[in-house]
Homo-oligomer: A and B are copies of this chain.
């Protein structure tokens, strides 16, 4: 029984009813191994169970049981947003079921199901299904007759409903509930767990309470906007879209109180359509922007979409770290001013990275420009992939770009109270990041490619199988073979014959300045080679099975300079290689036998280009050991001699740092 679903949408996190590019579902794209396939595998094998364990251990699922049995507020544990972590977990599991078990229905196309799922996968899906249903049942039991669903508010002895909108996160929590329900209905439209009905009842209540004539305010933490539009898309219920529109339009008119951080903290300082740049809390700002893009697309509001494009452009040009990270302030987890991008206090919250991917992906679907996929790639490799440990059971919440003291290691068995300390920890008092990473990894295949009337566009490079139809219903199937980003070759092999020409487009990242497209048609000797400029490179043909289109990206290490207005990294360079940012970690100084054991004592020799040997990126450095005098300012404080000899040291991909014991680290290295 699933009477509430009225619209079939693809098995993907964002499914606009109109857009420049059409997203492909998890039933259309499958990643096989490689950098991201490995991340997905660890996520499915270790991270989801890890999260489920901590949600139980911390009592955040049990809060729903307490609610159902009328025992609240006694015994409730966790912060006011703990319900949302349960919903994000459900969303992640829904995508994972879709990924492993074939999305789009019991017999959906694509995915492991298509390839003949092995017994272990079948077991894994069955277990995830059982877990998913069990948690949904506990959530369902806590929903009140009028649809209200929150374990923290509204009961005798609790704060009343809807009276602490600035900090209460009631609507925020529901936004994540809606996203989970949408993930479920898109990957298992026939499932009878009822999550979509729970979401609808809550959404209906929200529309009653916050609709025209209702409470004229918004949630302090944007998120319900994106949830409502997606729920509208998944259910066909226009009221939800209208409610999202009310929320987007109200924000910025001063409906929330002024606070220490200013109304900009929750983007209530100016209307969305008037703003030029993202500001305030970086997760809030990006979630809001993502929801506003969804709204603009569904309502054909080009003015709003233009405003969001402008905000994206200015935010990327002035307020984004080289990793793609966003948020310069620890205090308010917020964007700083233009060019205020300190590496040593980079907050660059993992969730802000996830949220930025959400915003960029929606802009990409709406406008089709490669720059959006460029930022997604940068952010996935250097923020989202940095958060989890290799084992997938500890996470960075903040992602510093400069560690001055050897990082202590968090206990593997305790909640860390210090989300902001750049420790990978198994769980946090505010534990938004682990499930946010998990839902992103589980749905990652959705970001690989899109389609339009004319063909298929590849945006992210991973070994993958893509089977879809282009807009006139023609089937297209292709295999992507690549070791990216270890190597720069992306080989696309056609799996089917096409009667009519269609266009394959591949993204050439902005950093790839001498890329080439090489076309090898089956049965033809001639190899065609084209120069490919950054942006999208396209090749049209009635491809035959076995035809190969190969993009050759120049993946060599390179120095990158900062804009001179970024004061905090003046006189420094960063090394990048392909989409990956590299870091100097003190363990590598020790390994190279350099006297200095702290990155503070190292200068980069910029006259020696970085080079790659046996898969390691090496740079030339010199040592300097200034004395520590009585006062760090004066004529002579900078007089320490620089070591005469240039020594070579290996850098580490930033996402892999802090995996080898306590170390100091810096991404920007002084010259």
Interface residues, chain A, with chain B CB atoms under 8 Å away: 258-262, 313, 316-318, 320, 322, 329-331, 336-340, 342-345, 371, 402, 404-405, 417-421, 429, 510-511, 560-572, 574, 600, 624, 626, 628-635, 637-638, 640, 668, 670
Contacts and interface: CB of A to CB of B under 8 A. Distances in A.
Contact of A260 (B320, B420, B631): B420
Contacts of A631: 316-317, 510
A418 B262 contact: yes
B417 A258 contact: yes
A197 to B, nearest CB: 38
A405 B276 CA distance: 15
Nearest to A626: B564
Contacts of A635: 560-561
A339 B600 CA distance: 10
A628 B313 CA distance: 11
A633 B574 contact: yes
A567 B345 contact: no
A318 B638 contact: no
A262 B422 CA distance: 13
Contact of A670 (B344, B570, B634): B570
A634 B560 contact: yes
A384 B635 CA distance: 26
A564 B317 contact: no
Contacts of A262: 418, 421
Best-surrounded residue of A259, A320, A421, A638 (most CB of chain B within 10 A):
A638
A475 to B, nearest CB: 37
A259 B330 contact: no
13 contacts: A260-B418, A260-B429, A317-B628, A331-B331, A331-B420, A339-B632, A371-B630, A511-B634, A560-B633, A563-B629, A564-B640, A567-B568, A570-B670
A563 B317 contact: no
A561 B638 contact: yes
A261 B510 CA distance: 39
A472 B418 CA distance: 58
Contact of A417 (B259, B331, B417): B259
A670 B566 CA distance: 11
A564 B629 CA distance: 12
Contacts of A638: 561-564
Contacts of A633: 322, 560-563, 574
Contacts of A574: 633
A670 B260 contact: no
Contacts of A564: 624, 626, 637-638, 640, 670
A631 B320 CA distance: 9
A286 to B, nearest CB: 18
Contact of A340 (B337, B404, B417, B562): B404
Nearest to A428: B260
A170 to B, nearest CB: 23
B344 A626 contact: no
A367 to B, nearest CB: 14
Residue from A259, A405, A570, A638 with most neighbouring chain B CB atoms (10 Å): A570
A405 to B, nearest CB: 5
B572 A318 contact: no
Nearest to A421: B262
Interface centre among A417, A421, A640 (most CB of B within 10 A): A417
A340 B635 CA distance: 20
A541 to B, nearest CB: 32
Contacts of A316: 630-631
A582 to B, nearest CB: 13
A564 to B, nearest CB: 5
Contacts of A570: 570-572, 670
Contacts of A510: 630-631
B345 A626 contact: no
Contacts of A318: 628, 632
Contact of A600 (B345, B562, B565, B668): B565
Contacts of A630: 313, 316-317, 371, 510
Given A561-B637, A631-B317, A337 B421 contact: no
A418 B260 CA distance: 4
B344 A567 contact: yes
